[in-house]
Amino acid sequence: MKRWQAMLFVPILALSGCATSSDKVADMPLARADVVCVNVRNINSFDSIDNEHLYVKVQGEPRHLLFTMDANCFGLNNALAIAVKDRFTRVCSDTFGDVVYRDLARGLESCRILNIEAVASKDDAKQLVEDRKAEKRVRQAYD
């Protein structure tokens, strides 16, 4: 086997090993170097904080997550139903999954997930959103 062939084979082997991990490991949310993942089946509840942020409670660790949407998702704050959609059963902060929701006025809507981060509780998620909004207002005032 040539040296470059062996080097190409190693990453493929590593990826196939990840895909065949046990169900128990696959169902656990992961936190690794700023990337937070959660299995969609482990989501227990959603609560929109505003039209750009969604609090999510899951089974396992971390138990509380804050989803930040890519753009202002009009109607998310008053959504009748919310779901997470991704190509896989797991959505991560670096894979750009979607939140799909039913709005009273416009029907079915979809927003891309920009970031997922672990938080200590629902109150901490709300406080984090408020702190970021205040920081943004201060930056805009100085610009």
| Confidence grade of residue 33 (pLDDT, cut at 50, 70, 90) | low
- If residue 135 lies in a helix (H) or strand (E), which one and from where to where? helix 122-142
Quick one: which of 33, 54, 32, 31 has its CA closest to 43?
54
Percent of the chain scored above 70 by pLDDT? 77
Q: How far apart are CA 46 and CA 71, in angstroms?
A: 18
Q: Is pTM beyond 0.75 here?
A: no
pLDDT at 51: 93
Mind listing the pLDDT tens digit for each residue in 49-74? Answer: 999 999 999 997 779 999 999 888 98
Domain ranges of the chain: 29-137
Q: What angle do CA 112, 89, 9 make, to 5 degrees?
A: 100
Q: Report the mean per-residue pLDDT for the chain.
A: 77
Asked if the model's pLDDT at residue 91 lies above 80, the reply is yes
**Percent of the chain whose pLDDT exceeds 90:** 45
Whether 95 has a pLDDT exceeding 50, the answer reads yes
Question: What are the tokens at 90?
Answer: 């797991």
Q: What distance in Å separates the CA atoms of residue 109 and residue 50, rounded to the nearest whole number? A: 15
For residue 62, the SS3 value is coil
Strongest mean pLDDT among 31-35, 49-53, 139-143: 49-53
Q: Identity (one letter) of the amino acid at 121? A: S
